[in-house]
Structure 1
């Protein structure tokens, strides 16, 4: 696009959900002023870094990075947005973060839902790795395969029958207690490509809807995409959000193997 053809774009509102506890722009700026970092070791309920960390970057199945940006105690603020949980069946955590951020931006702009609906409103989401729900449900799926190998292990079969039964019961109870089952409610929340769909339907935004994955550049890419859609008149208003909701150990180890992570602050 030629520079002389570019028309100015107005940014009318913004919002954020940033680690560790900046659930709105005011708290984010306060954290900056206070020098409060959002980078920390993963909380043990997310994943235990000591099981996966090794400073040797060539060690298999290990990561040299035991740090990340983790949200502390984030719960979607239903009361603030005057909403109820019943309105969002099946939403995953990343979708709630996207919705929260966009509602903050709309509030700053003085826009209600009636201002955001229609075919000339586009929704552009930058994301990589989808939501942690995908990893959790995948583990739920693979649990029986894992148990198959345990059950066929000679050392396991040498145990008394009642001990084997107790171990099997405890194993599957632990899996069911930590990871969700895959049912119709979770189906749409499972796939990365439709992270934006349910959010767009809430706003009745029926224009262009994109989920773009360009790894760490995803948030920047969707700003460029939204700008182009505004410039060519495809949309009059763009809801744009970058969301990284999957901080599972799988992504950490995978990116460590290509040297894509910092080892320290």
Structure 2
């Protein structure tokens, strides 16, 4: 067997810089609005709104009740159905069958580029897309409501599309991957984006996460595990400390030497 030198990519240890950001959080359409909520101590936790699902049918304050949730609290983004398909060159039907997490990611990605004030064209650049996500409740609803094969149903709800579709729309030619490590998904996505930058796999990277709550599915099994908070408050040193939240956010990161 021939001896081959092991390929060692150059490692650049420059610091990481955030040059743009955009988000959707509860009662916050921009990072500035979210910052105001944090600095003023605004309570962003509420009862599950009726436009998501009727929690009364699923709620029982007793943690031991089978098929019920003892938690009725969460943090929810408004207007998750607001989307302009023509802006992203897609038909209304395609948008309707697309996971709203993906719709919002496309919108937030465009806002991230605007926030950066980036004057050059990003189309065709060596830019990565790293998205952390672990809930895909819209996919479950679409599969139940639409029988048979449908291209839009499949492309719009596959987990990989949360990263791949934005990469395709902007013609980003760096790594493109969705990351599911449950609660740590977004931080792992950020870690992978930073490694990709340091190792020269991409020159720039978008990194973020998407999490929308559309059904009682995750509430049911998380309550069965006993991890959700019954009071609507986080108690980090107790077992039942966890509160579900809607989030869509993206950062645009580069090496400081870029």
CA 1:77/1:34 → structure 2, altered by over 3 Å: closer, same or farther?
farther
2:204 corresponding residue in structure 1: 237
**1:32-91 Cα distance to aligned partner (Å, 9 max, x none):** 34443322112112111111112222221111211112112245465xxxx835613424
CA 1:137/1:242 → structure 2, altered by over 3 Å: closer, same or farther?
same
Q: Assess if the C-alpha contact under 8 Å between 2:193 and 2:205 holds in 1.
A: yes
SS at match of 2:182: coil
Q: State which structure, 1 or 2, has the greater radius of gyration over its C-alpha atoms.
A: 1
CA 1:203/1:141 → structure 2, altered by over 3 Å: closer, same or farther?
closer
CA 1:247/1:255 → structure 2, altered by over 3 Å: closer, same or farther?
farther
1:228 to 195, 218, 224: 195
CA 1:140/1:41 → structure 2, altered by over 3 Å: closer, same or farther?
same
- What is the alpha-carbon distance in structure 2 between the residues aligned to residue 44 and residue 23 of structure 1? 21
**1:221-251 Cα distance to aligned partner (Å, 9 max, x none):** 1011101111111111011011102442101
Ranges in structure 2 where 5+ consecutive residues have no aligned partner: 1-10, 234-258
Higher helix share: 1
Q: Report 1:27-38 matches (<5 A).
A: 27-38=33-44
**1:105 is aligned to 2:112:** yes
2:145 corresponding residue in structure 1: 140
Q: Assess if the C-alpha contact under 8 Å between 2:71 and 2:228 holds in 1.
A: yes
- What is the alpha-carbon distance in structure 1 between the residues aligned to residue 169 and residue 119 of structure 2? 12
Q: Assess if the C-alpha contact under 8 Å between 2:48 and 2:55 holds in 1.
A: yes
2:100 corresponding residue in structure 1: 93
- What is the alpha-carbon distance in structure 1 between the residues aligned to residue 144 and residue 120 of structure 2? 38
Calculate the TM-score normalised by the size of structure 1: 0.73
**1:17 is aligned to 2:19:** no
**Deviation larger for 255-264 or 42-51:** 255-264
**1:253 is aligned to 2:258:** no
Ranges in structure 1 where 5+ consecutive residues have no aligned partner: 143-180
- What is the alpha-carbon distance in structure 2 between the residues aligned to residue 236 and residue 40 of structure 1? 41
- What is the alpha-carbon distance in structure 1 between the residues aligned to residue 17 and residue 223 of structure 2? 38
CA 1:111/1:84 → structure 2, altered by over 3 Å: closer, same or farther?
farther
- Give, in angstroms, the shift of residue 193 of structure 1: 2.6
- What is the alpha-carbon distance in structure 2 between the residues aligned to residue 194 and residue 212 of structure 1? 11
1:7 corresponding residue in structure 2: 14
CA 1:88/1:31 → structure 2, altered by over 3 Å: closer, same or farther?
farther
Q: Report 1:123-202 matches (<5 A).
A: 123-130=129-136, 132-140=137-145, 183-202=150-169
- Give, in angstroms, the shift of residue 5 of structure 1: 6.9
**1:209 is aligned to 2:211:** no
- What is the alpha-carbon distance in structure 2 between the residues aligned to residue 96 and residue 141 of structure 1? 19
- Give, in angstroms, the shift of residue 256 of structure 1: 1.7
Count of matched residue pairs: 217
RMSD: 2.5
SS at match of 1:84: helix
- What is the alpha-carbon distance in structure 1 between the residues aligned to residue 42 and residue 201 of structure 2? 41
- What is the alpha-carbon distance in structure 1 between the residues aligned to residue 167 and residue 119 of structure 2? 14
- What is the alpha-carbon distance in structure 2 between the residues aligned to residue 7 and residue 236 of structure 1? 12
